[in-house]
Chains A and B, each alone.
Chain A
Amino acid sequence: MKQLTVISGKGGTGKTTIAAAFVSLAKNAVIADCDVDAADMHLILKPQVQETIDFTGLDVASIDESLCTQCGKCKDKCRFDAISNDITINIYECEGCGVCEYICPERAISMIPRKAGDAYISKTRFGPMAHARLGIGEEASGKLVSFVRINAKKLAEKHNKDMIIIDGPPGTGCSVIASITGVDMLVIVTEPSVSGIHDLERVLGVADYFNIPAVVCVNKYDINKENTQLIEKYCSENGVGIVGKLPYDETPTKAMLQEMTVIEYSNNDFSTKVKDLWENVKKHLHETSGHTLLTMAK
């Protein structure tokens, strides 16, 4: 079974549009939306939720005020400024380390499990889907991403699917790392802006750090063709394949308004280019079995 993650570094380059298009072109795939704190894939795929699972993140500290003597030892030892001067816990700052519980001489503090979101197992018109919703301000996004990926893997085994397509989050931190570790290949969607290029270089660094093969798709390549050339040069110098260039087009927005993938929405030039992109991605994916392609120059 192959796992493919679509990421970008920079947000808003078209990850979800492209991942949703891949889903509608793949014949036998499970879908995993791993952008758990701003998930959008469900707006296109309209999943029917079949199972909702409570997700508990890290425990958080809870103070029994009837036992607390306000001695302040917990506040002194908390490294995350999660305990205020009047000895109350700010749950958004609490890392769940348990130091305050240990240090409290009155045993007034206990670490309690807290629901941090919901994970969903769903059915879509293109196959089974694993997704989630992280509670606002929650800490454990990486953990929830890992949970979504476990659910996707179970779905793939149960339904005999040969691929998992993962829509990843922006950035380079915990939820990105959790979305890409152990996958067969990354499709990095970028755009020819200075920000797009900067973020592409960083996210290729992450791919290299974790030794994961990556290919690049340049979205809206015609917005700045000089910058597109810079991306092509950079990729070729670093041995990273470019699997497609998509023009700026209104199709993704129009398709989104109709709750459709670009492939469903139209048979136009744009969707043909996306189909070619998918064929290229599949070709690279089959070539990456067992060894890595990426060697970074720096």
Chain B
Amino acid sequence: MKIAIASGKGGTGKTTLAVNLALALEDVQLFDCDVEEPNCHLFLDLDLIKVEDVNIPTPEIDKSKCDLCGKCSEFCRFNAIAVLPKDVMVFPALCHGCGGCTIVCPKEAIIEKDRSIGVIDRNKNSSGGFEFYRGLLDIGEPMASPVISALKKHIDTNRTAIIDAPPGTACPVITSVGNVDYCILVTESTPFGLHDLMLAVDMVRILEIPFGVIINRHDIGDEKVEEYCNSQGITILMKIPHDHKIARLYSEGIPFISSMPEWKDRFVNLFETIKQEYGGVGS
């Protein structure tokens, strides 16, 4: 079964929940899909090794064959190729790797070379069946989605997968939560939290993914998040209080279930409840 943790608003506790939930379960894979700012590994005492580069096939032009006809640059919707009166230039950072230029070139003057935009890492020793993967987008690179797609190829459908999504509701989030069985939306009880939760709810409804809400720091603001969930018939899966001990442990990079074991059972129960209803047969 695949469960994604998403939020709309940043900093509501996605990573905390993903890590603690994964650590509470047996035989689990954890995926850090926040490839722009991955943080899960900071809470896990493990060595990472590189599994692969994430590459975008980017055009390279054989200038001995190119007659500067301009069809490639005319075709490219990302402005990644410019044909000048006497030369042709490629702007690799703008290339989405669609391969269109190689198809339209009448002289077969374009070949594609892989350009790395990020990496996939995993834990060296998956002791106790705990497997951790993360994607990391290179600094200065704009496109997160190809790294997320490459990361998700490592999901083993026979096991439980927990997916930590990036904040927001734009394309990297859609790529992260696509095809999951269930989505946990994490929010906090503030006006910003409520507003961004509503956007995230719109998102999972459009994608037709079953979902429930966890309200983190539920006692800091007002009751509006709870009222909203109740009025919409949205399941509130869990409420976590604003707790200095949790905040302190978080700041130090310690998963709070390791020193607050009473939470472990709550996460196991949470998972079992979700699995019973949405896990399907054999997952």
Residues of A within 8 A of B (CB): 8-13, 16, 36-38, 40, 43, 58-59, 77, 79-80, 92, 95-99, 102-103, 134, 136-139, 141-142, 169-177, 191-196, 198-199, 202-203, 205-206, 209-210, 223-224, 227, 250, 253, 256-257, 259
How far is it, in angstroms, between the C-alpha of A9 and the C-alpha of B89 when the chains are bound? 32
Count residues of chain B with CB under 8 A from any CB of chain A: 59
- B36 near A171: Cβ-Cβ < 8 Å: yes
* Selected interface stretch from B5-13, B154-162, B226-234: B5-13
- B170 near A12: Cβ-Cβ < 8 Å: no
Q: How far, in Å, is A42 (CB) from chain B's closest CB?
A: 9
Q: Which residues of A contact B139 (CB under 8 A)?
A: 172, 202, 205-206, 209
Q: Sample 29 A-B pairs with CB under 8 A, ordered by A number.
A: A10-B39, A11-B9, A13-B11, A16-B192, A36-B170, A38-B9, A38-B196, A40-B9, A58-B77, A97-B78, A97-B98, A98-B77, A99-B98, A136-B202, A137-B174, A137-B203, A137-B207, A141-B168, A141-B170, A170-B167, A173-B142, A174-B143, A175-B170, A177-B142, A194-B252, A195-B42, A198-B42, A202-B36, A223-B247
How far is it, in angstroms, between the C-alpha of A209 and the C-alpha of B98 when the chains are bound? 26
How far is it, in angstroms, between the C-alpha of A191 and the C-alpha of B171 when the chains are bound? 27
Q: Number of residue pairs across A and B with beta carbons under 8 Å? A: 187
- B169 near A10: Cβ-Cβ < 8 Å: no
Q: How far, in Å, is A62 (CB) from chain B's closest CB?
A: 15
Q: Which residues of A contact B78 (CB under 8 A)?
A: 97
Q: Which of A11, A103, A142 contacts B10 (CB 8 A)?
A: A11
- A43 near B247: Cβ-Cβ < 8 Å: no
How far is it, in angstroms, between the C-alpha of A206 and the C-alpha of B174 when the chains are bound? 24
Query: What are the 5 tightest A-B residue pairs by CB atom distance, in nearest-first order?
Result: A11-B10, A12-B11, A97-B98, A171-B36, A174-B142
Known: A170-B166, A173-B36. 7 other contacts (CB 8 A): A10-B39, A102-B100, A136-B206, A138-B170, A193-B253, A194-B42, A257-B222
- A38 near B168: Cβ-Cβ < 8 Å: yes
Residues of B within 8 A of A (CB): 8-12, 15, 34, 36-37, 39, 42-43, 57, 75, 77-78, 96-100, 103-104, 137, 139-144, 166-174, 178, 190-192, 195-196, 199, 202-203, 206-207, 220-222, 247-248, 250-253
Nearest CB to that of A138 among chain B residues? Answer: B170
Nearest CB to that of B35 among chain A residues? Answer: A173
Q: Which residues of A contact B37 (CB under 8 A)?
A: 9-10, 170-172, 195, 198-199, 202-203
> Which of A9, A96, A137, A169 has the largest number of chain B CB atoms within 10 A?
A137
